Chain A
């Protein structure tokens, strides 16, 4: 089985879907001839043609407005927003248009588009190249939200997203593009080629939306994480010696409630980890769900480990980033609580 980085896995997913489905098109800033600033669409234009893979003007609202129109026509556009931080101009087209179209037209018009956007920090991107805005979109009814944590899932989830008949926003933790970064910024990151989840089949396969994965089984506590934080959580579990179960949500909406409930009922303790800011973040929803579904199984208050409620500071990003030490502390608190 070939080893792939997350970039290569995403590229493979789009390549396969462009070949399988003549209605798939790929558009975005710099995605054509150049192949994307992160190289995710490298070679796709040459292979599939300019009319299938093309550059767009720098206008995120225009990209998604056009993508909605294309999907109304019957295409399955895969639109790249160069950084998740740039998605806000397109919010109206995503939130009020793509997400609501099936509902408002009684099912006559739909917007089966996929929006890919690199998210998260750890690359010295400052406050405009580091954001994790998933919580804004999980709040929107009619949108599915996906965040993979490894190349194997990234490819299978992206194929599922493209095939899905509803709009999907697909955030790619850019710090995971080349390896399973675990928050130890002072140590070299293992390349995906040396990680089992870097083994990616060359052919078509899917990873279903709405299904979480158990990244590590355990019994002492449940850590709910997604994206880059899965690897941070795994590092914390390793370093703390606490036998915690780590859930990789993979899809935030619809969230896999069964996986969460099964784990927390088993462990009775729960730590929620995300890189995004805390207040009204997706962790708040997860915390509420755990409380509603598992209250009588809880042995300790639910903990959240998140980015602080500040913009992502450039020089201080490692003070901001919720690394393994903070997750370890939270694991200690929930497991030591009576």
Chain B
């Protein structure tokens, strides 16, 4: 009851109380999406990339959608991709899912310590990587493995990292899924959330200083937008008009905390950008076409030095946070399956079928091909070692790369360790 109503009824205000946000439903209750406003696909205007911040404000509250309920692409945001590109997008998402499934099982089999799936969020990384140029620099967080897959990075190399084996380029120093590849333009993932956000802005500032046409893109979860680095990144991006795309993946859950705990009850995460004078687009994150289109729009803004863009990708974390998490303890079991924006793979598949460019048979066939591809990569990676059984890099390597040149104290400690 509002204070005003209580005052009218009883003549005195209610006792002060602390509001602690609660999700609509908890385990044992039916999933409740009654407060989700999902606009019809195709209804959102596509503004010019140099439209004023004021003109662009409504997009922070809207939800850009391209695929309608029948899988047809409608409205001005349709990126009008050719069938080969669409099939490639489908393949990248399906390969990401097949990869996730295998590595999740590998963790359960004890072959590694930890794993994180991106199930239900595959469109985010896949469509965004495809909409960017190969030379653009990516500053991901831990659930964008699809960026590497979309850039055709070898699965074996990713698995080597997850297994911390002898071929792991990170020499067994990082937790599983904290990939890094300079060659793929994929920045080293940090466990300290949000740090990559201001780093991406710094990289973009450097590109601008050098007159380089490459741009940067960063990803963050809605939960970590509460970190200071998020706000520093937006301030710096705005002040210097850095050529950067700042993506917020709103997958509703930060481990067990629903998005309301990050401040999502009162406003959208996209709206955070408005106070910084940065245009924000809010997009159906399970709509491959919409994600592709808004990323293209933001990339053009960055590349033509109009300025940065924030994109809120509205999606749902169908997977547990990680292999160390059990979502049945804090959210309804049916919530993922009933997510009103559906599954990104199923939706793009439906779209391709509606175009006459895909079929159930081809889908099943591709699925089994991808499972076999992942299995073959897995066999190869495991031949280089797994976390549980080894082999690993020599313990000697522990002392390397702290500095470019090893100082006396590390040389001495290495000698003392006997490795």
Please report A residues at the B interface, Cβ cutoff 8 Å: 25, 51-52, 56-57, 59, 61-62, 65-70, 72-75, 77, 89, 92-93, 96-97, 101-110, 141-142, 144, 165-166, 210, 253-255, 257
B198 contacts A69, CB within 8 Å? yes
Least CB distance, A65 to chain B, in whole angstroms: 3
- How does the 8 Å CB contact mask read for B393-409 relative to A, with 1 for contact and 0 for none? 00000001111100111
- In the assembled complex, the Cα of A244 lies from the Cα of B166 at a distance in Å of 53
Of the listed stretches B4-12, B189-197, B355-363, B383-391, chain A binds: B189-197
Residues in B neighbouring A70, C-beta threshold 8 A: 202-203, 205-206, 209
Q: Which residues of B contact A106 (CB under 8 A)?
A: 168-171, 173, 180, 401
Are A103 and B402 neighbours in the complex by a CB distance under 8 Å? yes
A57 to B228, CA, bound (A): 14
Determine if B173 and A66 form an interchain contact, defined as CB atoms under 8 angstroms apart: no
Q: Decide if A92 touches B192 in the complex (CB within 8 Å).
A: yes
Most-contacted residue by chain A among B202, B235, B239, B404 (CB, 10 A): B202
Q: Given A62-B232, A65-B202, A66-B202, does the pair A51, B209 have CB atoms closer than 8 Å?
A: yes
Task: Give the chain B neighbours of A92 by CB distance below 8 A.
Answer: 192, 195, 229
Query: Which A residues touch B174, using CB under 8 A?
Result: 104
Contact B407 A72 (CB under 8 A): no
Contact mask B227-239 → A, CB, 8 Å, 1/0? 0110011011001
Shortest A277–chain B CB gap in Å is: 23
Q: How long is the Cα–Cα vector from A103 to B202 in the complex, in angstroms?
A: 21
28 sampled A-B residue pairs with Cβ under 8 A? A57-B235, A61-B198, A65-B195, A65-B198, A65-B201, A65-B229, A65-B232, A66-B199, A68-B199, A69-B203, A70-B202, A70-B206, A72-B202, A75-B209, A97-B190, A97-B192, A97-B195, A102-B401, A104-B170, A104-B188, A105-B180, A106-B180, A107-B400, A108-B169, A108-B181, A109-B182, A142-B402, A254-B403
Residues of chain A within 8 A of B95, CB atoms compared: none
Residues of A within 8 A of B188 (CB): 101, 104-105, 108-109
A107 CA to B406 CA in the complex, in Å? Answer: 13
Q: Is B187 an interface residue (CB 8 A)?
A: yes
Excluding A61-B228, A65-B202, 13 further A-B contacts by CB distance (< 8 Å) are: A61-B232, A62-B198, A66-B199, A69-B198, A73-B206, A93-B229, A102-B402, A106-B168, A106-B401, A108-B180, A108-B182, A108-B188, A141-B402
Within the assembled complex, what's the spacing in Å between the Cα atoms of A133 and B304?
43
Known: A61-B228, A96-B190. A69 touches B173 (CB 8 A): no
Contacts of A96 in B (CB 8 A): 190, 192, 195
A13–B239 CA distance with the chains assembled, in angstroms: 28
Tell whether, in the assembled complex, residue A62 and residue B236 are in contact, meaning their CB atoms are under 8 Å apart. Answer: yes
Is B204 engaged at the interface, CB distance under 8 Å to the other chain? yes
Interface size class of B (residues with CB under 8 A): 35 or more
Residues of A within 8 A of B403 (CB): 102, 142, 144, 166, 254
B96 to chain A, nearest CB (A): 22
- 5 nearest A-B residue pairs (beta carbon): A69-B202, A65-B198, A62-B232, A66-B202, A73-B206
B274 at the interface (CB under 8 A from A): no
B123: interface (CB < 8 Å): no
Alpha-carbon gap, A92 to B230, bound state (A): 13
B269 within 8 A of A: no
**A69 engages B408 (CB within 8 Å):** no
Contact A254 B408 (CB under 8 A): yes
When distances are taken between beta carbons in the complex, the residues of chain A under 8 Å from B168 are 106
Name, among A93, A103, A107, the residue most crowded by chain B CB atoms within 10 Å (CB to CB): A103
Residues on the A chain within 8 Å of B203, using CB = 69-70, 72-73
- In the complex, A254 Cα to B236 Cα: how many Å? 33
The reply to whether B236 and A73 form a contact with Cβ atoms under 8 Å apart is no
Considering only CB atoms, which chain B residue lies closest to A108 in the complex?
B182
Report the Cα distance A106→B229, complex, angstroms. 25
Contacts of A61 in B (CB 8 A): 198, 228-229, 232
Residues of A contacting B407 in the complex (Cβ-Cβ under 8 angstroms) = 210, 253-254
B291 within 8 A of A: no
Task: Output the residue of A68, A72, A101 with the most chain B CB within 10 A.
Answer: A72
- Within the assembled complex, what's the spacing in Å between the Cα atoms of A56 and B360? 55
Is residue B142 contacting chain A, with contact meaning CB distance below 8 A?
no
Q: What A residues does B302 contact at CB under 8 A?
A: none
A137 to chain B, nearest CB (A): 14
B200 in contact (CB, < 8 A): yes
B207 near A: Cβ within 8 Å? yes
How far is A243 from B143 in the complex, measured between Cα atoms in Å?
A: 63
- Chain B positions within 8 Å of A210 at CB level: 407
**Could you give, for residues 155-195 of chain B, a 1 whenever the CB lies within 8 Å of some chain A CB and a 0 otherwise?**
00000000000001111011000101110000110101001
B187, B201, B232 interface centre (most CB from chain A within 10 Å): B232
Minimum Cβ distance to chain A for residue B137 (Å): 8
Instruction: List CB contacts (< 8 Å) of B213-240 with chain A.
Output: 216, 228-229, 232-233, 235-236, 239
The answer for the CA separation of A101 and B180 in the assembled complex, in Å, is 10
Chain A residue nearest to B174 (CB atoms) is: A104
Whether B182 contacts A89 by the Cβ 8 Å rule is no
Contact of B236 among A66, A104, A108, A257 (CB under 8 A): A66
| Bound complex: CA A65 to CA B201 (Å) | 8
Task: Determine how close the nearest CB of chain A comes to the CB of B189; give it in whole angstroms.
Answer: 9
- Is there an interface contact between A69 and B401, defined as CB atoms closer than 8 Å? no
- B233 / chain A contacts, CB cutoff of 8 Å: 62, 65
Residue of B nearest to A54 (CB): B240
Is B408 a contact partner of A257 (Cβ separation < 8 A)? yes
Contacts of A253 in B (CB 8 A): 407
Residues B202 and A67 in contact, CB atoms below 8 Å apart? yes
A173 and B92 alpha carbons, distance in the complex (Å): 55
Determine the residue in chain B with the shortest Cβ distance to A254.
Answer: B407
- CA–CA, A96 and B181, complex, Å: 19
